[in-house]
A and B are shown apart, each in its own frame.
Chain A
Amino acid sequence: MFKWLHPLAKPETLYHFCGRLFPWLMLSAIGILLFGNLWGLVFAPQDYQQFDTVRIIYIHVPSALLSMSTYTMMAIAAFIALVWQVKVAQWSVLAIAPIGAVFTAISLLTGMAWGKPMWGTWWEWDARLTSQLILLFLYLGVIALYGAFSDRQTGGKVASLLAVIGIVNIPIIHFSVEWWNTLHQGASITKFDTPSVHPSMLWPLLISLLGFYLLMLALVCLRLRTAILEHEQHRPWVRATLGGH
Chain B
Amino acid sequence: MVVTFLRRELVLLGRQKADWLNPLLFFIIVLTLFPLGVGPEPNQLRIMAPGIVWIAALLSVLLAAERLFRDDYRNGVIEQLVASRQGLMAFVLAKAAANWLSTGLPLVLISPVVAMLLGVESKAFVAMMLTLLLGTPLLSILSVLGAALTMSADKGGILLALLILPLYIPLLIFASAAIEAASMGLPYSGQLAILVAMLLLALALVPLAVASALRINVS
Tell me if B145 and A154 are in contact (CB < 8 A): no
Residues of chain B having any CB pair with chain A under 8 Å = 145, 149-150, 152-156, 159, 162-163, 165-167, 169-170, 173, 209, 212-213, 216-217, 219
Tell me if A149 and B154 are in contact (CB < 8 A): yes
A170 CB–B CB distance under 8 Å:
no
Q: What's the least CB distance linking B208 to chain A, in Å? A: 10
A177 CB–B CB distance under 8 Å:
no
The SS class assigned to the B binding surface is helix
Tell me if B166 and A138 are in contact (CB < 8 A): yes
Tell me if B154 and A158 are in contact (CB < 8 A): no
A145 in contact with B149 given A157-B216, A161-B216 (CB within 8 Å):
yes
The SS class assigned to the A binding surface is helix
Q: What's the least CB distance linking A176 to chain B, in Å? A: 11
Which residues from chain A contact B149 at a C-beta distance below 8 Å?
Answer: 145, 158, 161-162
Tell me if B155 and A148 are in contact (CB < 8 A): yes
Tell me if B153 and A161 are in contact (CB < 8 A): no
Task: Annotate A143-157 by CB proximity to B: 1 below 8 A, 0 otherwise.
Answer: 011001110001101
**C-alpha spacing A131/B205, complex, angstroms:** 20
Tell me if A158 and B217 are in contact (CB < 8 A): yes
Tell me if B217 and A148 are in contact (CB < 8 A): no
Which residue of chain A has its CB nearest to the CB of B219? A154
Which residues from chain A contact B167 at a C-beta distance below 8 Å?
Answer: 134
Which residues from chain B contact A188 at a C-beta distance below 8 Å?
Answer: none
Which residue of chain B has its CB nearest to the CB of A127? B173
Which residues from chain A contact B154 at a C-beta distance below 8 Å?
Answer: 148-150
Which residues from chain B contact A162 at a C-beta distance below 8 Å?
Answer: 149, 163
Q: What's the least CB distance linking B196 to chain A, in Å? A: 17
